[in-house]
Structure 1
Amino acid sequence: MDTSYFFKNTDLIIESLIGTILIFILIVIYTRIFGLKSFSKMTGFDFVITVAIGSILGITINSGNPSVLLGAAILLILYGLNYAVTVLRYKSEKAEDLIDNNPLLLMENGEVIWENMKVSKVTEAELQSKLREANVIRLKQVKAVILETTGEISVLHTNDESIQVEDYIMDDVIRKK
């Protein structure tokens, strides 16, 4: 058996180890500087940045291309961009409206809003799956199903029919498209 297959590029092991440790430490430092929101998935933009950071981390430590230094610089740019957009969204309602999607109501009081399902391209099977995941047994338990800005689906339900969802919780949710 030819063992050279298993021992190719052994000279890169130390380089990869050092690069991985450096990038990991930088991510910890950047996260401490820019805050935990750097990894939140509160908006679609947050999700894109999180995926981009993971991608840069992966290719930098796996292939060395980009180099560790370039990977570190790209990570800093991504963290800085995320921070700048977060501050902009926080300070300007117009910027927030431009950057963020609004959540969309897919069900209300046990009734599916088919037009919103069609617009959002959420299938009936996906809706049913989320209802099961939330332990909904009867549709009349469902007060609201919302397609969030991140693409996740929230299910608000209760067995007490007299309980209504407070306006504050539904304030930014689009009811009809």
Structure 2
Amino acid sequence: MFVNDPLADLFLRSMALTAIAMFWVVLLVRVNGLRSFSKMTNFDFVMTVAIGSLLAGASQSTDWISFVQTLLSMAMLFIVQFTTATIRKKLTTFESFMQNQPALLMKDGVILHAALKATRVAETDLIAKLRETNVLDLTQVRAVVLETTGDISVIHGDSCSVELLQGVRMVNEK
């Protein structure tokens, strides 16, 4: 691609193509906005993984056609993400299709074992998250939510606003 010596070409190609692809990703993020690599939805997570995979592929391209195809694929991912985010804002039915609903794992100091089972979260993982967020006593915990991203949010203190649990599903005991 760059020079006749295979070893020199290997080094030049990996450095140049990686730098170009990184610059391209930064440019796409600047155009698309800060939300590009957020973890707000499942789709955002897949987007982040896919861009990483394409970036690795771009740095290993052996010809210009495959390199440009990879750059175009990156651009298309950003376009699809922008489009789905726009549609999600306008249509709640599309949003509910694209996004899981957050689940309540703990409420007012009580661990909801049915919710742990339904979401496949181990109680030991929940307890570890509580320690990580400096919970000193389970009675301090107002709510623990398994977010749509897979993150676990811990709300502790004297009270919890109803708005903070809006849209969070409660798993029923069976």
**Given the two structures, how large is their TM-score scaled by the length of structure 1?**
0.88
In structure 2, the partner of 1:113 is: 112
- Give the match for residue 173 of structure 1: 168
Shift, 1:122, TM fit: 0.1
Q: Which runs of 5+ in 2 are unaligned?
A: 1-5
% identical equivalent positions:
37
Distance, in Å, in 2 between the alignment partners of 1:13 and 1:92 is 48
- AA of the residue aligned to 2:145: I
In 1, distance between residues paired with 2:7 and 2:147?
A: 46
Q: What's the counterpart of residue 95 of structure 1?
A: 94
**SS state at 1:102 partner:** coil
Superposed CA RMSD in Å reads 1.7
Question: Following TM superposition, by how much is the alpha carbon of 1:15 offset from its aligned partner in structure 2, in angstroms?
Answer: 1.6
Partner of 2:42: 44
Amino acid in structure 2 at the alignment position of 1:64:
S
Cα offset, 1:9, TM superposition: 2.7
Instruction: Count the aligned residue pairs.
Output: 166
Shift of 1:134: 0.5
Q: CA deviation at 1:59?
A: 2.5
- Alpha-carbon shift at residue 55 of structure 1 (Å): 1.2
For residue 10 of structure 1, give the secondary structure of its aligned residue in structure 2: helix
After superposition, give the CA deviation of every residue in 1:61-102 in whole Å (9 maximum; x if it has no partner): 1x2268321210110111111111101101111111111111
Q: Which residue of 2 aligns with 1:138?
A: 137
Q: Report what 1:3 is aligned to.
A: none
1:16 aligns with: 14
Task: Report how far residue 141 of structure 1 moved.
Answer: 0.7
- Distance in 1, matches of 2:86 and 2:7, equals 45
Q: What secondary structure does 2:31 align onto?
A: helix
